[in-house]
Chains A and B, each alone.
Chain A
Amino acid sequence: MGRLGEVLRQRRQRREGSLLTYLMAGSVPPETFLGCVRAFRAAGVTGMEVGFPFSDPMAEGPVIQRAASRSLARGTRWSDLLALLPQVSGELPVAVMTYLNVVLRHGGEKALTELREHGADAVILPDLPLEGLRDLGPHRRTDGLDIVLLASPATGEERLLRLARRTGGFLYLVSRYGTTGLGGGTTPSTRTHPLDLTEEIRQVHEERPRLPVLAGFGVRDAQDVRSFLDQGADGAIVGSLLQDRLNEGADPSELEATVRSLVEGLSSKRLGLDATRERGL
């Protein structure tokens, strides 16, 4: 198992909530990116999700789409990601998030090996279904690079348990119907709300008691983080909220303040001790 999965597992055991923060590589210069990573670490983040751009990111809302376009327009290449990773992993455990075509084009299994050698602990591919794991070769879940699978509110129980058994490091539970983002889709019809996932999380933990479950998509504030933990999740993943500010030119110290406020959502009480708070979820 990768270091990220290990850390998340220990925190689960200690009943400490975790927070992963996402930013798109190449959407800002590497110094700014690393400044953010250091600031997030100082704010108490558990791990970093490093996005790598794909031209056609079907699971992303407008904020991350814009970050991907910007990154590609700046000429970001796979080699830039490999150069960035060791520096990020010097600060925090790292998951790389990109799309399957990028990994396949760089050799599939070979690309995964490169990611691991450059310090990544895990890889998240939103367009890789359970059935596609074999496309990445026998490498999966070995050698310290976890392939993290995603589950969704649409996933039925039987499949959810299969995902729980096959995922590496942790299970990424998408919190709602929709793409990444703060709820403002490209069109009114893509605006959706987080759902109550208490039952799904309980089922996963029953199947694999040590497996961390992290919920993501649409996290806006500490309340959202809190509510995931109240539903039994081991942590939350926040992306568009931070990337949006970065797109608008915020600097690392401004983002650090935002992340600190999110981290408070983790610590206001310990995991799984009181009932789900309402808040229209």
Chain B
Amino acid sequence: MPEWYGPYGGSYVPETLIPALKELESAWKSARRDPEFRSRFQELARDWGGRPTPLYFAERLTRELGGAEIYLKREDLVHGGAHKLNNALGQGLLALRLGKRRLIAETGAGQHGVATAMIGAKLGLTTEVYMGAADMERQQPNVLRMRLLGATVRPVTQGQQTLKEAINEALRDWIANVQDTHYLLGSAVGPHPFPSLVADFQSVIGRELRRQSRARWGRDPDLVLACVGGGSNAIGTFHPLLRGPARLIGVEARGSGEGPGGGAASLVRGSVGVLHGMRTYLLQDEEGQILPTQSVSAGLDYAGVGPEHAWLKDSGRVEYTAATDRQALEAFHRLARTEGILPALEPSHALAVAIQRAPDLPRDQHLVVTLSGRGDKDLAEVQRLGPAR
């Protein structure tokens, strides 16, 4: 498992966590070669998690836009309503293998919190989820879901009260309780081995996509888009395609388009630094203080990004761009009305860029968007923001 992606990655954490990180890495190395672990994982992913997910042809949207054929990789149909379960399931089983009795997690949109609460309930582990108070407000349905699943939701009231602060608190909890607790980190961020561990568990998205597209039209897709918060659904989508010919685009959140951080687009607007145990691109000021972020989508509203994305940006293999709140909302409404699917606001950012680019591509090309989650959690927020123009 790589710790470094070019100059990015590492494990910049207090000494107390170092042994736990090493222990986690070796647990995963042995588990992934253990047939019993693998078959349990695959059985749960299928029967409980709903995998594989379909690759869906968005026919009306394609016709409206008049360019490349648009397909959706339907991670919104995974149990819980987002790709987050792919990782929570894997790490939950690892926690059990490590003999940990307690799970903690951070969550922004609440989807990772829900996924952790689900696996915690399923495996009989105590589960506590840190969530920024501002995110609890805008993603209320998920707070209720976590509680119904038996998890404790701990409001985080420091700073901006969003994802970054929730990660801070989860790390602090882990430092105090590392002996009996597994920190089930929800994105491809944080200290090694989390970025590569999460990428491993999420790569099922790209593996299925590659198989499905080859079965369907005989080759890889031409253009693949995914939204990037911490970057887990995107890295899971891209990983299996990196060696192939597909053009890959990661879409960050530009927010309202104003503000010092320019929304939450750390790859597009940021500079290199160290946060949450990793060296990567960050939104920070000249003094090295992390900047406030802003996005309509709680899951993308984060000042950092996974280190592998930082490297894929530098190497030029993946193009990173950003969509505004407004563009994401328009894409949300458009998909709802053309395809009968309410997407989460996070992948609506990737959809927005797909909608921009599809018309310019030849009709015989295949464009895929990873629809990382469903929009039920966002209904109140979308209503508050008003109808599409």
Contact = CB atoms under 8 A, between A and B. Distances in A.
Contact of B12 (A106, A132, A178): A132
B134 to A, nearest CB: 16
A249 interface: no
Contact of A129 (B18, B20, B164, B178): B18
Contacts, number: 132
Interface string B165-196: 10011011101111100000000000000000
Contact of A101 (B154, B177, B274): B274
B172 A179 contact: yes
Interface string A157-174: 001000100000000001
Contacts of A53: 289
A253 B10 CA distance: 44
B7 to A, nearest CB: 10
A60, A77, A149, A177: most-surrounded residue (chain B CB, <10 A): A177
Contacts of B290: 55-56, 101
Interface stretch (A31-39, A184-192, A207-215, A232-240): A184-192
Interface in A77-93: 77-78
Contacts of B154: 187
A262 to B, nearest CB: 24
A177 B13 contact: no
A127 B274 contact: yes
Given A150-B15, A152-B16, A154-B15, A55 B289 contact: yes
A105 interface: yes
Contact of A189 (B177, B274, B287): B177
Q: How large is the interface on A (under 10, 10 to 19, 20 to 34, 35 or more residues)?
A: 35 or more
A250 interface: no
A177 B16 contact: yes
A102 B176 contact: no
A129 B176 contact: no
B172 A58 contact: yes
A190 B171 CA distance: 10
Interface in B268-294: 273-277, 282, 284, 286-290
Nearest to B277: A127
A65 interface: yes
Nearest to A65: B158
Nearest to A126: B14
B11, B159, B168, B282: most-surrounded residue (chain A CB, <10 A): B168
A149 B274 CA distance: 18
B177 to A, nearest CB: 6
Chain A binding site: helix, strand, loop or mixed by DSSP? loop
Given A132-B10, A152-B14, A155-B18, A179 B284 contact: no
B19 interface: yes
A246 interface: no
B353 to A, nearest CB: 30
A155 B179 contact: no
A128 B12 contact: yes
Contacts of B69: none
Given A55-B159, A179-B175, A189-B128, A105 B287 contact: yes
A280 interface: no
Given A72-B289, A105-B287, A154-B15, A59 B175 contact: yes
B10 A131 contact: yes
A178 B175 contact: yes
Contacts of A65: 158
A56 B172 contact: no
Contacts of B175: 58-59, 177-179, 190
Contacts of A99: 274
B289 A54 contact: yes
Contacts of B288: 54, 101-106
B177 A154 contact: no
A132 B164 CA distance: 23
Given A127-B12, A129-B13, A132-B12, A156 B19 contact: yes
A106 B274 CA distance: 13
A177 B282 CA distance: 29
B16 A153 contact: yes
B173 to A, nearest CB: 6
Contacts of B287: 77-78, 102, 105-106
A101 B18 contact: no
Contacts of B156: 186
Interface string A101-136: 111111000000000000000000011110110000
Given A127-B277, A155-B18, A58 B177 contact: no
Nearest to A151: B15
Contact of B16 (A60, A102, A103, A154): A154
A155 B178 CA distance: 12
A126 B274 CA distance: 13
Interface of A: 53-61, 65, 69, 72, 77-78, 99-106, 126-129, 131-132, 149-156, 159, 163, 174, 177-179, 185-187, 189-192
Given A58-B168, A154-B17, 19 more contacts: A53-B289, A56-B164, A58-B14, A69-B158, A105-B286, A105-B288, A129-B15, A129-B18, A131-B10, A132-B10, A149-B15, A150-B15, A152-B15, A154-B179, A155-B19, A177-B175, A177-B177, A186-B169, A189-B176
Top 9 closest pairs, chain A to chain B, by CB:
A105-B288, A178-B176, A152-B16, A102-B288, A190-B176, A152-B15, A55-B289, A55-B290, A101-B274
Interface of B: 10-20, 128, 154, 156, 158-159, 164-165, 168-169, 171-173, 175-179, 273-277, 282, 284, 286-290
21 contacts: A54-B288, A55-B159, A56-B165, A57-B168, A58-B276, A100-B12, A104-B273, A105-B284, A105-B286, A128-B12, A129-B15, A129-B18, A151-B15, A159-B19, A174-B14, A179-B175, A185-B172, A186-B169, A189-B173, A191-B176, A192-B177
